[in-house]
């Protein structure tokens, strides 16, 4: 139990740092002005994180790696994905009166994340077949 807590904490620290760095990289790549404050970095992190979650679920189940779930799923990917930030960005858009952008953001985030998770599972199953 204690070791799992350590794994979650270590994975969470690494995941949060990766989220931060990827967010900076996305903003530098596409620029802040082009998106006019739209949270493209958060969408990118959520979709990538969901893909990786889907891939790990299949890999862990097929290769007997479920013991790594506290480190990888709860820690690393839990620290990496940002649905709390997603909620905040949605409310920020709504408070600015950008209801269309908020709706678009929610739809793209949810469809993108669920689709990426399914794609991650399918790609990993194909690679392991």
Q: pLDDT class for 33, splitting at 50, 70, 90?
A: low
Q: What's the mean pLDDT in 71-99?
A: 91
Other C-beta atoms closer than 10 Å to the C-beta of 59 total: 20
pLDDT greater at residue 19 or residue 83: 19
Residues in the chain: 129
Q: What dihedral angle (degrees, nearest 10) is formed by the CA atoms of 59, 82, 12, 61?
A: -10
Distances (CA, A) of 37 to 83, 91, 128: 18, 13, 40
Which positions make up the binding site? 78, 81
List the structure tokens of 20. 């931060």
31 or 105: whose pLDDT is higher?
105
**Structural domain containing residue 78:** 2-128
The average pLDDT across 98-109 equals 95
Average pLDDT over residues 34-54: 86
Q: How many domains does the chain have?
A: 1
**Nearest CA-CA partner of 6 in 14, 17, 61, 82:** 14
In this prediction, residue 83 has a pLDDT band, given cuts at 50, 70 and 90, of confident
d(CA 41, CA 43): 5
Query: Could you tell me which residues are annotated as the binding site for Na(+)?
Result: 78, 81
Q: Identify the weakest region by mean pLDDT among 4-13, 22-31, 56-65, 105-114.
A: 22-31
């Amino acid at each position: 139990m204690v070791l799992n807590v350590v794994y979650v904490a270590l994975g969470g620290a690494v995941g949060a740092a990766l989220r931060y760095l990827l967010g900076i990289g996305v903003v530098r790549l596409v620029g802040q002005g082009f998106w006019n404050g739209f949270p493209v970095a958060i969408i990118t992190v959520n979709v990538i994180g969901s893909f990786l979650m889907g891939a790990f679920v299949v890999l862990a189940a097929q290769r007997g790696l479920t013991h790594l779930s506290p480190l990888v799923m709860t820690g690393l990917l839990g620290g990496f994905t940002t649905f709390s930030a997603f909620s905040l960005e949605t409310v920020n858009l709504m408070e600015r009166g950008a209801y269309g952008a908020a709706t678009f953001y929610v739809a793209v985030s949810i469809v993108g994340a669920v689709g990426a998770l399914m794609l991650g599972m399918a790609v990993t199953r194909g690679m392991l077949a």
